[in-house]
Structure 1
Amino acid sequence: MSSKTLRASDLAQFTGSECWYRHPLYPSITYTDGAQYVAEAGGAYWLLDAIVSHQHDARVRSEPFQVWTLRVAHDRTALLTCEDGDHGMVASQAIALTDFPLPEITLWLQNDVIFLPSEY
């Protein structure tokens, strides 16, 4: 596993976005500078791909506001969950192995944009 440069303290700098990046697998979904930074610095384009892939599930796609949380365990397994904003579980995905550098991260998806909570 490679060493990533992403630190939780880095995420506080994102309070808006100057650019939006179009996701190649689901072109109607874009993501912000903060989400791009997570993907680049954390080696986590796969995380954006996972969130986007769940949009093919009608139950997930019908949620106008989605809270995506990745929790990494000590054994490097992880659980990606989607909640509806009121702590109602919408979807989850077990991840057998990850080198994501943070123990936890949350991304939001609203109006077809994936972003950090600080960018709201």
Structure 2
Amino acid sequence: MKTPRQIVTELKQFTGSSIFYKHWLGLKYTDGIKYLADETNCYWLLDAIFSHQTKKLLSNPNLQEFQIWHLRVDNNSGVLICEWDTNQELLRQEIEYTDFPLSHIKLYLVETVLILPSEY
């Protein structure tokens, strides 16, 4: 099992993706996201982000092409936040329990593809 520091270091190595994986909800994700999900067993995080892609959320034109997602974890509980710009929160989901090993991860949803910031 890798330490959180090792995972963060390895995530920084992803700077693009030649392969896109299709999620069961129809959206896609990159090599870096697949690595994150495999290493931290967090496919639930992809499910959560993709399940929020509803007509209500996407009715905001700011969110149709670009979204910023944060997962913050403290004492095995977390909060998932969607922003359309830095500190412009539009959605918040409390997560009662998680074993996600990192205290914070930031992801981007660009059109229909979930990516790491280093892959942008």
TM-score over 0.5 for the pair? yes
After superposition, give the CA deviation of every residue in 1:72-111 in whole Å (9 maximum; x if it has no partner).
00x2100000000242111110001111011100110011
Specify whether residues 47 and 4 from structure 1 end up closer, same or farther in structure 2 by C-alpha distance, changes over 3 A only: farther
- 8 A contact 1:14–1:33 mirrored in 2: yes
TM-fit CA distance, 1:57 = 4.9
| Aligned residue-pair number | 115
SS in 2 for 1:101: coil
Which segments of 5 or more consecutive residues in structure 1 lack a partner in the other structure?
A: none
After superposition, give the CA deviation of every residue in 1:4-28 in whole Å (9 maximum; x if it has no partner).
666211111100002100010x21x
The runs of at least 4 aligned residues of structure 1 exceeding 6 Å deviation read none
RMSD: 1.6
Quote the Cα distance in structure 2 between the aligned partners of 1:12 and 1:41: 14
Which segments of 5 or more consecutive residues in structure 2 lack a partner in the other structure?
A: none
- Are 2:99 and 1:104 aligned? no
Counterpart for residue 50 of structure 2: 52
Specify whether residues 79 and 4 from structure 1 end up closer, same or farther in structure 2 by C-alpha distance, changes over 3 A only: farther
Identical residues among aligned pairs (%)? 44
State TM-score, norm by structure 2. Answer: 0.88
- Are 2:72 and 1:71 aligned? yes
